[in-house]
Structure 1
Amino acid sequence: MDQLLHHLRHLGFTEMESKIMVELARQGSASGYEVAKRLGVSRSNVYSTLQRLEQRGFLRCSAGEPAKYSVLKPEEMTSMISGQMRTSLEYVQSSMPQHEPEKPVFYNIEGDKNVFENLSRELAEAKHEIVVDVWREEAELLRADLQGAEDRGVRLLWSCDGGEGIMDQPAPWPGLPSYGTGNGRKFSLVVDRRWCMLGMRGESCVTQAMVTEHPVMTGLLLNHFAQELVLYELEQDMGEELESRYGHRYQNLSARYWSVPSEGI
């Protein structure tokens, strides 16, 4: 009973309206006096509420003295409410004032729940393409959302490190050195080449992510992803030659650019 009253109030009925409708549904039909007696409330409150519900179309009133009220069948009531809500939602959508779009902003999200709820919402809205650069642990958490997107015809581009995944072997370019104290796994996603998330997650750090639609950041992540996979393809074709010239995993070459700066810089 409490749950039913709760949901009726959630649909916009007052507590008195909800109790009267449930009572009438239980009795079949009743006069205002009978309803007031059953609920233990004043007749004046009951009569005004009955008239209001009748005017809104949720009650029927029989002719005669005393007048008896009955509530619509559940399927009739829910159909009426659904139609009214749909009409209101369509009107709000078409009539709500709109302002000029704001300039792209950057914002931070913290915590596993917040990060993955934000991601799930965006992945569910993807229409054309999703670019994913993650570790195996995060790939497993996103698998259902990404599978759903792929089932809708969205193009998926994957890079997955850290064990078995959709792409088992890591990209050939060695990772950048770690700056600061975080030891988490970095991940990034770009949706429809307009929205992106870049973050870190792991047992030794709080899950954090930066989200933006700024074209500079989405462009940087897409370029980084493309360069890693191009290098991966090159290594597959020219692995021995590249290793003999630059060293295993290109350590000699990459050290020129990605060496950790000395203290004080």
Structure 2
Amino acid sequence: MEQLLNHLRHLGFTELEAKVMVSLTQQGTQSGYEVAKRLGVSRSNVYATLQRLVSRGVIQLTPGEPARYTMMPIKEFTQMISGQMGESLTYLEQHMPSETHEQPSFFIVEGERKVIETLNRELDKASEEIVAGIWREEAKWSRQGLERAEQRGVRVLWSFEGDEDGKFSGMLPLTASQQGGRKFWLVVDRRWCIVGMRGDELPAQAIVTEHPLMVELLLQHFAQEIILFELENDLGAELIQRYGEGYEHILNKYMPSFVHKDID
């Protein structure tokens, strides 16, 4: 019964209207007094409700002493509601003001549960490509979502620290530092991205946006990872000899404080 009442409420009927309609359907034609007695509601409230339903064409009134009320056949009722909703939706499509195209916003998501929900919701919407960088500790958040995406034919490329099974295609080594927490980021279909951090004693926090600049920065970062991965595979010893471990000779030239903080 409660589920039936709930669906009637979703169609725009009040709690009492829904109960009156169900009562008339179950018991057949009744007077307002009989409906009020059966529902245990004041007669004034029931009569006002019956009048509204009559005006909407949902129930039929048979004049007399007392007046009698009958619920319209359920098939006719559903056809009427369906037609009314269809007309309203068509009107909205034709007459709603044009959408304003605002600059994409940045949203903060806090807490592991909310981050996971946000992340997996977008992964399930992915249709073309997912590019990501995740540490092994956080990979469990998105592992199933990424697997489902690959099964749908979505191209998945991600940097993944500490993979042991080599299960996914497109894996690349993650070179970011863990200092201050483990960073994670994902770009879905080159339109949506999430960037965040989490540590063993640091609550998960993330920025979510569809801003094209942030998407571009993350994809550029990933492209640099790919290039470095290929170069280090082919020319590793030569690169170390020429540029130092972790390219420290280059970084010392431009960002010495960065080298001392993150590499040494």
| Residue identity matched to 2:229 | Y
Shift of 1:204: 1.1
The change in CA–CA distance for 1:92 and 1:206 in structure 2 (over 3 A counts) is farther
2:168 maps to: 166
**Is 1:221 the equivalent of 2:218?**
yes
1:50-199 to 2 correspondence within 5 Å? Answer: 50-60=50-60, 67-73=68-74, 77=77, 80-81=80-81, 84-98=84-98, 100-164=100-164, 166=168, 171=173, 174-176=175-177, 178=179, 182-183=180-181, 185-199=182-196
Q: Could you say what the CA RMSD is over the residues aligned between the two structures, in angstroms?
A: 3.5
1:29 equivalenced with 2:26 (yes/no): no
**Paired residues of 1:59 and 1:72 also in contact (CA < 8 A):** no
Identity %: 53
Distance between the aligned counterparts of 2:250 and 2:29, measured in 1? 83
Task: Tell whether the 8 Å contact from 2:240 to 2:247 is kept in structure 1 after alignment.
Answer: no
Change beyond 3 A, Cα 1:170–1:247: farther
| Partner SS for 2:260 | coil
2:232 partner letter: E
Q: Equivalent residue for 1:19?
A: 19
Alpha-carbon contact 1:160-1:168 (below 8 Å) kept: no
Shift of residue 126, structure 1, vs aligned partner: 3.4
- The 8 Å contact of residues 131 and 191 in structure 1, kept in 2 or not, is answered as yes
CA-CA distance at 1:254 after TM superposition:
6.7
- The alignment's TM-score, normalised by the length of structure 1, stands at 0.75
| Superimposed CA distance per residue, residues 115-137 of structure 1 (whole angstroms, 9 cap, x where no aligned partner) | 23333343344343221111234
Q: Which moved more, 1:18-27 or 1:217-226?
A: 18-27
Maintained 8 Å contact 2:156/2:170: no
**Are the counterparts in 2 of residues 161 and 169 from structure 1 also a CA contact under 8 Å?**
no
TM score, norm. by length of structure 2: 0.75
Sort the Cα spacing of 1:217 and 1:208 in 2 relative to 1 into closer, same or farther, 3 A: same
Moved more, 189-198 or 231-240: 231-240
Alpha-carbon distance, 1:228 to partner: 0.8
Give 1:231 shift: 1.9
* 2:248–2:259 CA contact under 8 A, matched in 1: no
Q: Is the 8 A contact 1:60 1:72 kept in 2?
A: no
User: Mapping of 1:223-262 within 5 angstroms?
Assistant: 223-242=220-239, 250=246, 252-253=248-249, 256=252, 257=255, 258-260=258-260
Counterpart CA distance in 2 for 1:212 and 1:224 is 17
Q: Which runs of 5+ in 2 are unaligned?
A: none
Indicate the SS of the match to 1:259: helix
Q: What letter is aligned with 2:184?
A: F
- Provide structure 1 residue ranges, at least 5 long, that are not aligned to the other structure: none
Over residues 218-245 of structure 1, what are the superposed CA-to-partner deviations in whole Å (9 max), with x where a residue is unaligned? 2221111111122222333344544565
Change (3 A) 1:104 1:19: closer
